[in-house]
Structure formats: structure tokens, C-alpha cells
Amino acid sequence: MTRILVRGGRLLDPSQERDGAFDVLFEAGRVVAVGEKLSAEGAEVFEANGAWVAPGFVDLHAHLRAPGQEYKEDLSSGGAAAVAGGFTQVACMANTSPTNDDPSVTKYILDRAEKESAAKIRPIAAATRGLEGQVMTEMIALREAGAVAFSDDGATIMDAGVMRRVLEYSTLVGVPVIVHAEDCHLRGHGVVHEGAVATKLGLPGNPAMAEEIMVARDVQLAGWTGAHLHVAHVSTAGAVETIRRAREAGVKVTAEVTPHHLTLTDAATLGFDTSTRVAPPLRSREHVEALRRGLVEGVIDAIATDHAPHATYEKEVEFTEAPPGMIGLETALAVCLELVREGVLSPLELVRRLSTNPARIFGLEGGSLAVGSPADLVVIDPDRAWTYDPGRGYSKSRNSPWADRAMTGRVLATFVDGRLVYNLQRGVNAE
């Protein structure tokens, strides 16, 4: 039975409020000891040499495209991209083909993931059949098949009566309902944030109010039903304020924000780069500042990638015709380290939002390196300089605004259940 000692690192474990020089010992896939200068007797040693050692990241929001759109991504490439980015668990969205609205699809995803993915895959099932916002899915059967949450993703449930029922039934299974909050009528054909940049580009705008009004509706419904609402990729100042007030009033609401909404503004779209077309759109500076404040204050609990792969031929079209989305699993850490360098978050607080909080929100084991936890662990060099080349990455797609950009901070190694599944020198599944 392999015993591994990760020695000489700076342990960042928010679940134990630990930030310091500790070794981590694991055996049979579980952490068996954490302490200063642990004995290496009978163990293989992984020398961390001062690098950061943290619980593996947990992504609450990724599109892994299987089944049905494996030309964009599959569970093997998505799982590899995940562990190369430090993610040991990834929740995958239901907008697959067929939709994940039936236990047979949920089981298929889990079965394929078991065989193909280096990361643990946690399927999110649809809240309504075919993401059509009308007929509820069989939530209990989907939960029993392994779904960790319910969501219609980009297809907002516009009928408040259906949304009420979805929230009510979710309390029977005790998992969150995730909303991509956007009033589709207010959004109209908007493809960029409604404001000066949209006017300059001559592109139709998507107003902040389209998100703000729907978050307001959904926290009301969550308060009424007592359900757990999770707001995906918050992008507006108004939504942050609504979530803050709802939480203060006792509503069970949690929220995530993406690395791109935290670091890019709508100005990134000025060159018509279609990889900057995302839903919700990149917003103006004031919104980005509000998201950062919300993240620091804990109104927004987690950072999630919304990794959304699309083929190059699909993105190499007019801006209005390009499907929304950018990939993010392999760049999330380096992009988020900007927040540490700018003094917005400490390293420990960043790990809390990438790992400990997301695990807690979905009720997943993980997000901790306390004794007894799964040995899901990431080793990070926060100062490592590199250039991101999506063509040499693990995702099948290349739609990233950070392509060919200089990055700082990189994952050196990732362990899942005590197994070294990624190492910067040798790649994925190197042991």
C-alpha cells in the first residue's frame, strides 16, 4: 500500500485555518497525518521545496460536452485539463446531447468518467426536461443516479411557477438548484455588456438588469420555499447586493464567480475576439470591482470556471454568431493569482474559494487536508512564469482570451485519492 509524504511545502488548508510549514502523509487514498517534519519511514517522498500545498480545487461549473459533443471536449480531455489546472473534482453541466435529464445519462457520464477521467466528475442534472423550462425532471431518481445539483444552465426557467416547484422538490433531495440568472427578454439578442463598449463596437447590449432582476426573483422564491439556491457566475453589482441582503435575511443562497468576470472587463472585447463572448458577458469596471468586493466579503462563496469549450471553426465567425463561452480549467489558478498579487485575497483565502467553499456548497467530500480526508491535493509554484498555449494544453478546444499570454503561477503536481495524476514534467497520469 503506497504511503506518500509530501514534504517541505507551505500548507494552505482553509478547513483547518492552516497556513504554514507542514508535511502531509497519505496512505490508501486518505490523509493519515499532517504535521511539522513528519517521519518519512516507509513512505515515498514528494519534495515540495517550499511550494504551496493545498486541497485539490473543486470546480462547481464546467461544460465537459459528453455525451454528444465530444469534438469540443470529452471526459478524458476535460478530466486531464482539470488536473493540470489543479482541480480534483469537477461538476459538469447538464446541457449535453442528449441532455442530462434522465438517470441513464447521469449514469453514463459517471461510468465513462470512472474509466476516462483523471479528475472526479460530479454530474449536474437538468431541472426540467430538455432544458425547456416546462416539465420537471425526476429529481429523486437523478439524485440516486449520482447528480449533485440541478440546473437548466443557460436556459433560464422563465416561468416562476415552474421555478417554484423545482425549488420545492429540490428540498426533498437536499441538493442545490443552480441558476444562470438572466431574463431572456431583457437580454434579447445582447452579446456584450450594454454600455459604452457595446455602442463603440456596434454590437447589441445585454443589460446588467437582465441578471439583477432574475436573481431578485429567484432569491424570493428560495426564501419562500426554503430551498438552497446557488447563483452561477454572478457578473453584476446589483446581483451581489441582492444576494447579500437575501443572505442577511436568512435565505439559503450561495454564489460563484468566474476568473474571467473577476479580471477582465468588456474592454477585452474591443478587438472582436470571439473568445471574449461569454454568457453572462464581461462587464464594466464598476461591476468587476463589486464582484471582487463580494468575493472578499464572502457574499460570493466560490470561484468556478464555467469552462465552456467550443471548436475553432465555431468561434471563427462574426462576433454575434459565435457560441458563448471560453475554456478555463488550465488557466484559472494563474488568472486568480492576480488577485493575490494585487492584495485582494491572501493565498489561504484564494484556496478557500477554489476548494473548501465549493466542496461545502455541493456537500462533497474534499476541500480539506484534515486527517481522514481524501488525499486530493495540489502542489503549486505561485511564481512560475509560463506562456499559455491552448494548442499544447489538455482541453480539446482553444477558445481562450489568454492564448499566447504570459502567465505567472502554475500547478506542479496533482494527486487524486493519493495517486499522482499530474506532474508538470511528465504530464497527466504520470506515476
Site for ligand DOR in 120-179 (CB under 6 A): 153-154
Which is nearer to ligand DOR, 266 or 306 (by Cβ)? Answer: 306
Which element (helix H / strand E) includes 18? Answer: strand 18-21
Which is nearer to ligand DOR, 282 or 412 (by Cβ)? Answer: 282
User: Applying CB under 6 A, which of residues 120, 180, 283, 315 lies at the interface with ligand DOR?
Assistant: 180
- Minimum distance from CB of 235 to ligand DOR (Å)? 11
- Minimum distance from CB of 306 to ligand DOR (Å)? 6
- At 327, list the grid cell: 475554456
- Minimum distance from CB of 154 to ligand DOR (Å)? 3
Q: What phi and psi, each to the nearest 5 degrees, are found at residue 96?
A: -95, -175
Could you count the other beta carbons within 10 Å of the beta carbon of residue 311? 16
**Helices 103-116 + 75-84 axis angle, to 10:** 60
The verdict on 278 binding ligand DOR (CB under 6 A) reads yes
Which is nearer to ligand DOR, 95 or 100 (by Cβ)? Answer: 95
Residue whose beta carbon is closest to ligand DOR: 154
Which is nearer to ligand DOR, 324 or 347 (by Cβ)? Answer: 324
- The string of DSSP codes covering 189-200 is T--EETTHHHHH
Could you count the other beta carbons within 10 Å of the beta carbon of residue 18? 15
Does the annotation count 381 as an active-site position? no
Site for ligand DOR in 335-394 (CB under 6 A): none
The region of 1-9, 131-139, 201-209, 323-331 touching ligand DOR under the rule CB under 6 A is: 323-331
Which is nearer to ligand DOR, 327 or 413 (by Cβ)? Answer: 327
* Coil/strand/helix, residue 129: helix
- The string of DSSP codes covering 176-187 is PEEE----HHHH
For residue 14, what is the DSSP state? G
User: With CB under 6 A, what is the number of residues at the site for ligand DOR?
Assistant: 12
Question: Cα–Cα distances in Å, from 259 out to 250, 274, 295, 313, 345?
Answer: 28, 17, 11, 25, 13
Kindly name the residue from 23, 74, 102, 306 that is annotated as catalytic. Answer: 306
Site for ligand DOR in 36-75 (CB under 6 A): 63
Please tell me whether the peptide bond between 14 and the residue prior to it is cis, using omega within 30 degrees of 0.
no
Which is nearer to ligand DOR, 130 or 323 (by Cβ)? Answer: 323
Distance, first Cα to last Cα, the chain: 15
The region of 8-16, 97-105, 317-325, 343-351 touching ligand DOR under the rule CB under 6 A is: 317-325
- Minimum distance from CB of 326 to ligand DOR (Å)? 7
Cα–Cα dist 191/411, whole Å:
33
Could you count the other beta carbons within 10 Å of the beta carbon of residue 353? 24
Site for ligand DOR in 87-106 (CB under 6 A): 95
Could you count the other beta carbons within 10 Å of the beta carbon of residue 414? 28
The region of 240-248, 261-269, 320-328, 351-359 touching ligand DOR under the rule CB under 6 A is: 320-328
Q: Which residue matches cell numbers 495540489?
A: 378
Q: Count CA within 13 A, CB hemisphere, residue 230.
A: 29
Task: Cite the active site residues.
Answer: 306
Residues that bind ligand DOR (CB under 6 A): 63, 95, 153-154, 180, 278-279, 306, 308, 323-325
